[in-house]
Amino acid sequence: MAERKWSGPALTVDGVLVEQGMILLVERGREPFKGCKALPGGFVDYGETVECAVRREMREETGLETVVERLLGVYSDPERDPRGHTVSVVFGLRAVGGELSAGDDAAAAGWHPLDRLPELAFDHRRIIEDCVLGPRGR
């Protein structure tokens, strides 16, 4: 019997951190969407939980230590990422320490008013509308 290889979507995480009407975004330092703003996040490492992955990605990209407050949603449109089919687990986070500074593949990190969002990478505008702004934000 031949060995069967399984192939499926890649697993990613995105973190939503909102304080006083502002949302934390990073500027992507790499393609796809190099130069665009995005939610902090990235790929889940083998053997890592999604909760640990989102905290790690937030620390690597923004310098902030966070705790997971709640699951906000799962986004699985096969067309959401030009690199291929990815499924993203999105968490609401709370900052508990660290200093804001861009790192890893983020060229910049900063706070943006929720009522004046810049152009966003991937489906991150939809995520913010769904999870933060609600139906009135669309």
Specify the pLDDT at position 138: 46
In a domain, 3, yes or no: no
In a domain, 36, yes or no: yes
Specify the pLDDT at position 116: 95
pLDDT tens profile 6-28: 689 999 999 999 999 999 999 99
In a domain, 4, yes or no: no
Task: Give the total number of structural domains in the chain.
Answer: 1
**Region 46-55: what's the mean pLDDT?**
98
CATH of the domain at 52: 3.90.79.10
Residue closest to 40 by CA, chosen among 12, 10, 61: 61
Asked if residue 12 lies in contact with residue 123, where contact means CB atoms within 8 angstroms, the answer is no
In a domain, 28, yes or no: yes
In a domain, 1, yes or no: no
Domain hosting 65: range is: 10-137
- Has residue 105 got a pLDDT over 90? no
* Predicted confidence band of residue 66 (pLDDT cuts 50, 70, 90): very high
**Region 57-68: what's the mean pLDDT?**
97
Residue closest to 38 by CA, chosen among 136, 105, 97: 105
